[in-house]
Amino acid sequence: MYLKEGCSLLLKVSKRSIPFVLSTNPVFDYLPQNGVSDKYSVSIKESEVLKRLKDENDIILALEYFKSLANSRSFKHTRLTYQMMIKKLGFKGEIDAVQYLLHQMKLEGIGCSEDVFIGVINSYRQAGVAEQALKTFYRISEFGCAPTVRLYNHVFDALLSENRLHMISPIYNNMKKDGLDPNVYTYNILLKALCKNNSLSGARRLLEEMSNKGCEPDKVSYTTIISFLCKLGRLNEARDLVSKFIPSVSVYNALINGCCAEGNVREAFELLDVMMEKRTSPNVITYTTILNSLVDLGHIEVSLAVLAKMFVQGCDPNACTFTSLMKGYSLRGRLPEAFKLLRQMIEDGVLPNPVTYNTLMHGLCLAGKMDDALSLLYEMERNLCLPNIVTYTTLIDGFAKSGNLIGASELWNKMISLGVRPNALAYTCMIDLLCRNSMFGHAYTLLKKMSTHKCPPNTITFNTFIKGLCVQDRFDWAMELFDEMGKHGCIPDVTTYNEILNGLFKVKNIEFAFELVRKMGELGIEFNLVTYNIIIHGLSSSGKLEEVHKLFGKMLIRGIKPDSFTLNMLIHTYSTHGNVEYAVRHLNFMHLIGLNPDIFTYTSLVRGVGVQVGIEESYIYLHRMINEGICPNVSIWSFLVRFLANKIGYVGAVDCMNAILADPFICN
């Protein structure tokens, strides 16, 4: 497998726990070194302790210092020192330690101030346990603190960060019962919650409530509502609302972002002019939004003009600005220009961030330049820009697409050893590569580990695995995996059924295939072009022309446009089974819908017409293909020679072929 010992493509994450007991022996190394015993030690000032705790970056050392003071007679912890320690522990996600300190304050009779409780709530927010913040908030009176508007705001913010939208409204009602009037910060959080919940009517009512309460909406309020309207595609309403107040830069940015999302860059430029007229200076976000939209639309040269305008207006581009341009160059294979931009960026003093490097790596991987992509990873590390999960996933995906199991496995090992947790895409890329190397056992082990490592497989993961099994004729296993999807909370989609159908037709299990087709209909799964192509191909291989004809009709009625594969398959089927008239009809239909016949199309027709109608008629399609710039291949010439030899003998066939080749039309 080319994996480091102990890795085995399995995620190993260990979190260092912090033992927290205040009743430990004092660590005298942290106390004043004045040669005086602890019994007669000099008192330490609160300001000194706060400074020491603030400046200590190592949480273990900070905690040991805090504990040593608690067990000495030189200092008694105060509300501020507890607050500082809670803040540091919360930042590191040490929630148990935060709860311990809060309880210790209660035991020592130290009342919790508003700021202490805000620190506790923010600790829970950073750790992603907003519900725990709410439970602690409801016990606030036990700690000698009363609820305030600020505290409610921080609770709302914590719940909003985890999308606990249904919990916000009842707590808001409690806030009113407590006799506390919401401020603009409260309303802005509630507005965000309503917008996240797609409640436009609720957001409008809240704006009215703000005005009625004499709390004027600020730029954050308007930016939130304008962004929401633009997200819903209701730009006209957003414009009307903007016309009713003096917009800020952030409001204009929201409106410009909405225009760009709809591909309306012209209006975005018009808004830029309006900002200039109203003396509202566009900022780097304004320009970068327009520039990024131009890049997405393929107008890289125009986006460079926007960059130039930024410089003229004295607005310095940031990493996002340069990254947008690099994305445009990278995705279009213009990698030298992308790297030139990277060097310019560094020269201008703008440090590349992980997104910048990831963008360039993606372009290199698309171009198959994996050695260069690895070199960029090493440069990223040298510049102290830490690779993230996107970095490693991009590289693993690149190695997987190039079929390089060794390279992908080494990157996986490195990612695991650095403690970077794989996401579903990284797992899926590795499963795909393992399947393509027929290492299905390893792939299945990896699939099982996803759930245990809190990264459950998704439908795409299963589709990838099922496809790999079907390609290698491991159809029984593919069906077992198909049945297992529900256990992981995954619902099969049209791609899943397509892979299974393809496998069923491949093994000529027509009856089961049609049973699955019926099941798709019962489940309301819409057929796509791939579905129709698979079924038509399966039916054609079985010689079921009538069913093929009916299915193609249904496909057209449902508005699904056939592609060259569909029509080539039909032309080949009808030509092979003697229905040349239908084959010719589909050739004409191919031209009608703007598809170009290829060598496969004409090979089927020349063979079919020659056998069913006559060799002279097949020359018509031979001439037509040459007229369309398609050169007959060995297969067509071989067919003509064999056919003529069977009809008129070898000598006659040679004479006939010489006559054909002597035709100036064919020779030219």
Nearest-5° Cα angle at 223, 227 to 150: 120
Cα separation, 241 vs 224, in Å, equals: 12
pLDDT number for residue 446: 92
Amino acid (1-letter code) at residue 463? N
pLDDT number for residue 16: 44
pLDDT number for residue 359: 95
Tens digit of each residue's pLDDT (9 = 90 or more) over 214-247: 888 888 988 998 999 898 888 888 888 888 888 8
pLDDT number for residue 644: 57
475 CB-near residues (< 8 Å, 6+ apart): 469, 503, 504, 506, 507
CA 225 to chain centre: 25
192 CB-near residues (< 8 Å, 6+ apart): 160, 224
Q: What is the dihedral of CA 603, 606, 608, 610, to 10 degrees?
A: -150
Cα separation, 192 vs 207, in Å, equals: 12
Q: Which domains are present in the chain? A: 20-161 (1.25.40.10), 477-526 (no CATH), 528-668 (1.25.40.10)
Amino acid (1-letter code) at residue 337? E
Q: pTM of this prediction?
A: 0.71
Q: Return the DSSP state at 282.
A: -
pLDDT number for residue 37: 43
Q: What is the dihedral of CA 546, 551, 552, 555, to 10 degrees?
A: 170
Q: Which of 299, 222, 230, 218 is nearest to 259 (CA)?
A: 230
Q: Which segments of 128-218 does DSSP mark as H helices, in order?
A: 130-138, 149-161, 165-177, 184-196, 200-212
Residues of the chain with pLDDT under 70: 1-42, 640-668
pLDDT number for residue 655: 52
Q: Return the DSSP state at 143.
A: G
The string of DSSP codes covering 432-487 is HHHHHTT-HHHHHHHHHHHHHTT----HHHHHHHHHHHHHTT-HHHHHHHHHHGGG
75 CB-near residues (< 8 Å, 6+ apart): 43, 44, 46, 49, 69
